[in-house]
Amino acid sequence: MIWKLTWCALALALAVPCARPALAAHGAPVTALSVQAEYVKRLLGAGEPVILIDLRPGESFGQGRLPGARSVPLAQLRRRYGEIPRTGLVILYCACPAEEMMAAYRFLNDEGYRNVSVLEEGFAGWVKRGYGLER
């Protein structure tokens, strides 16, 4: 099953122009797959099964989140990562520096998650485009 997910992620990275390796703040490539907000919006609009994980603090999550997102605050990730499914397309987002997002991605990858990607530009990018939020 893991090889199938890896191939799916590779196919996604090669076939979808909006999926690309994320960049650290200094511009060096890292191994995380990043997806653009437009792509996530299309997936949600088409009813595709997407698991959105909001890494922002609980108070921020309560004020507004991406549709269907689950809250696993970054400060609690090491304790609660087991709540994140190991199958399906998981997309992480937050309102934190790129280094913190990449650290969360690497932590999950080290724990065996091969189905995780990050939302390019995070929560701010979603809001900037005027995409809807749940409250």
Over the stretch 1-58, which tens digit does the pLDDT of each residue have? 333 333 344 334 433 334 444 444 334 444 688 999 999 999 999 999 999 999 999 9
CA distance 107 to 104: 5
> In the predicted model, what is the mean pLDDT of the chain?
84
- Name residue, tokens 């005027």: 130
Backbone angles phi, psi at 82, to 5 degrees: -65, -15
The predicted pLDDT at position 32 comes to 81
What is the arithmetic mean of pLDDT over 64-91?
97
pLDDT of 92 above 60: yes
The predicted pLDDT at position 31 comes to 65
Q: What DSSP designation does 25 have?
A: T
Domain ranges of the chain: 2-128
pTM of the predicted model, to two decimals? Answer: 0.78
pLDDT of 101 above 50: yes
**The listed CATH number (3.40.250.10, 1.50.10.20, 3.40.50.620, 1.10.10.10) that belongs to domain 2-128:** 3.40.250.10
